[in-house]
Amino acid sequence: MAEIDQAEHEARPLASTGRKIELAVVLLLLCAGAVWLLANGCKDPTTEELLAWEIDKGLQGRPTVILDLDANLRHSGTGGGLMGMVAGPRASPVLAGAGEVIPGLREKLNVVMLTARPVQYGNATNMWLEANGVSLVPVLCAERPLSSLEAQAEYKRERLAELRGLGFNLHASVADRPMEAVVYAQEGLVSCFIIAGAHDPGLKRLRRRLEDAEAKGQEEAVLYVFDATSEEPLWDRLAEALDKGFEGLKPYPLVN
């Protein structure tokens, strides 16, 4: 009986519907295997590998710039839920032009992204950066979800301390939430706060944060506000500010 079935199988013409289905399945499996190899066999370096490379080369002593763009991340379609999966990572106006500028910055500076997003969203965050033309930037994520702004601020202070412990020279930060802008300034970084126009509500929240810090007797924060809607591209201005040591810029409450 088995010999008859084998004979029928061998005699089945290639043009038959059954053979077409078999060939389609085989091709589908081959394509799936190729995609898996592409995704798993040619991965970009991990955050740990990038940081280890900088330490191994003695580059951690160079000025380090912290990117903290959690406000944009929250509205970028990278939340990991159904809508994020359907929409995919969306480009961010705040990062427009960053892909052309950051590679040049990395010739002289270290660039590290710090986010309060939990580590399970690390891949989505990398996809968001790549959608904005930014690649090979270490992304430091939280080990667990952090629900309150205070917990997120404390987590970021701890990560800054860890980087300093590894010898990283923390020089400046770019943030789009008032809380982080104040935290980085208090931690001794040159803090750049990004707004979207003169009526951005973040300006009022920033003032309240600074007033609260002053009331608690904390050190006065020195920071710079950059308007992302200005005619001159934001990242060209940030790159120039970093290159010239922020010389000639107007400190808060003025806007650059």
pLDDT at 94: 84
d(CA 156, CA 128): 20
Q: What is the mean pLDDT of residues 175-200?
A: 93
Residue-averaged pLDDT of the chain: 80
- Tens-place pLDDT, residues 23-67: 665 566 555 544 433 344 334 566 677 788 788 777 778 999 999
> Thinking of the domain 44-243, which architecture would CATH place it in?
3-Layer(aba) Sandwich (3.40)
- pLDDT for position 69: 87
Torsion of CA 207, 245, 250, 225, to 10 degrees: -40
Q: How confident is the model at residue 220 (pLDDT cuts 50, 70, 90)?
A: low
Contacts of 237 (CB under 8 A, 6+ apart): 226, 230, 256
Comparing 127-136, 166-175, 186-195, 229-238, which segment has the lowest mean pLDDT? 127-136
pTM: 0.77
Enumerate the domain spans of the chain. Answer: 2-39, 44-243
